[in-house]
Structure 1
Amino acid sequence: MPQAKTIHDFLPCATPEAWVQTAPRHMELLLLDHAHCERKAAATAMRLMHDYASHSELQIKMSRLAREELRHFEQVLKIIQQRGMRYRRIPPSRYASGLRACMRKQEPGKLVDLLVCGAFIEARSCERFERLIPVLDEEVAGFYQRLLNSEARHFRDYLILAEQANDGPVDDRVAVFAEQEAELVTRPDEQFRFHSGPPQQNI
C-alpha cells in the first residue's frame, strides 16, 4: 500500500496563496476549466480501461472513477448555466502536459507513469478544492466541500494501481513527478486556470 495517507502527505508543496486570492476574480475561468478537468478525468479513466483491459482491478476502479467524474462534470456545468455563463472550450493550462513530459514511453513504465501522473492530478485538484472553500461564494464553496469529501480517495486508487503495475513501490517515480509538479504549481503563470501556477502581475 502507498505510504501517503492524505493529499498533504503526498503533494510536494501547497498551492501558492497568490493563486488562491486571485481565484475569486476569475470565477468564469475557474468553473469552465474545472468542468474541462472533470470531463478529461473521465476520459482518462475510460482510455485506461480501453488500453489495459487485462488489468481487472484497474477496470473496476476506473469504471467507478469515470462515473463519478462525469457526474461532477454535470454538476459544474449546471452551476455554469445557472450563472448565465456560456460553456465553451478554453486553452488548457501547462499543468497536465508538463506532468506528461516526465512519462516513459515503453511498457510497463508507461502504465506506471500514467497512474502516478493521475495520482498527482487528483491530489492537486482536492488540495485546490480545500484551499478555495474559504474564499469562494457559499454555493461553490459548498459544492467544493462535497467534491473534496467524495474525491479524496482517487489519488490513492491511482497509487495502488501504480504499485500493482510496477510489482512494488513506485517511490522513485513519485519523486520524479513531485519535482516537476512543484515547479508547475509554484512558477508564475501567464494564464489563470484551475491548475495554473501563481499569476503574473498582469493577470
Structure 2
Amino acid sequence: MNNSIIEELLAPINSFLQCETPELWIDEAKKSENLQVLLVDHLVCELKAAQSAMFLIRKYAVDKESAAALLEWLKPFEALIYKRDGNWRELADKNKLTKAMIPKSNTAYGQDLIDKMVMLIKEELHHFYQVLEIMDEYGVEYQSITPCRYAKGMLRHVKSYEPDALVDKLIIGAYIEARSCERFAKLAPHVDERLGDFYISLLRSEARHYQDYLLLAQEISELDITERIKFFGGIEAELILSPDKDFKFHSGVPS
C-alpha cells in the first residue's frame, strides 16, 4: 500500500479523532521489551471486537435460539484465549460465519446490523489468526493480561435506555476502530518490516469498520448523533492523553 493511499485512508480518521497518539506512547511502544504485551493485547482486542459485534447481533437482531447458536460458533476462539484449549492453527477453518447462517431480522435496522457485523466479525477473527501467526513467528507466547481502562472508560457513559444505549455502543465501537487504525499507522515505521507491513495491511478494513459503526448509529438514532459523537470523542481523547500506569495498545500516556 503506497503512501498516498495510506494518507487517504487516514485523513478522515485523523479528522474524526480529537487527538493524535502522544509521542511518549510511541516511544514506549518502540521498546523491544514491550513487543510481547503489544502483540498479546492486539490479539485480545481482535477477539473482543468480534465478541462485541456478535453481542450486538445476538441482543438486537435475532431470536434466542439463533443467539445461542451464534454463541456456540464463537466458542473455539474464546476457548483458546480464556481456557488455553485447542490448537490455534485449526481456527482458520472455523471462521465460516456467513449472513446465510443467521435468520432475517424482524427489526427495522436489524438486517443492516447483521450484514455489517458479520463482515466485521469475519475480518476481526481473520486478524486474530494473523496475530497468532506473527506471535508464533516471533516466539511470543500467549499470557493472560488485564484489560486496559480504555473501552471501560467510554462504556461507563452509555445511556441506560434504548435505542440510545445501542447508538452509544456503536459510536464507541467507531472510536475503538479508528484509534486502532491510527495507532497501526503510527507504529508501522518503528517496527521491523514484517510487523510494519502487517499493521499497514489492517488499515483498509479498520477504516471501513469505524465508518460502518457510525452509519449504523445514525440509521438507528431518531436524532442527529453529531453531538453524541463529539461527547465520546472528548472522553476518548482524555483517555489517550492522560497519564496511564498500564501500557497497552489503547493505553494513555505512560506514567
Confirm or deny a common fold (TM above 0.5).
yes
Deviations 1:181-202 (A, max 9, x none): 01100001101100001111xx
Partner of 2:174: 119
Partner of 2:59: 51
Equivalent positions of 1:1-203 (< 5 A) are 6-25=12-31, 26-53=34-61, 54=107, 55-200=110-255
Deviations 1:111-157 (A, max 9, x none): 10010000000000000001111111111100000001222111000
TM-score normalized by structure 2? 0.75
1:24/1:135 contact within 8 Å kept: yes
Q: Distance in 1 between matches of 2:153 and 2:192?
A: 31
Computed over aligned residues only, the root mean square deviation of the Cα atoms, in angstroms, reads: 1.0
Computing the radius of gyration from Cα coordinates, the structure with the larger value is: 2
AA paired with 1:36?
V
**Higher RCO structure, 1 or 2 (CA under 8 Å, sep 6+):** 1
Which structure 2 segments of 5+ residues have no match? 1-10, 62-106
TM-score normalized by structure 1? 0.94
AA paired with 2:165?
K
Which structure 1 segments of 5+ residues have no match? none
* Identity in percent: 47
Deviations 1:2-57 (A, max 9, x none): xxx71111100000011011102111000000000000000111111111113110
The count of aligned residue pairs is 196
Corresponding residue SS for 2:172? helix
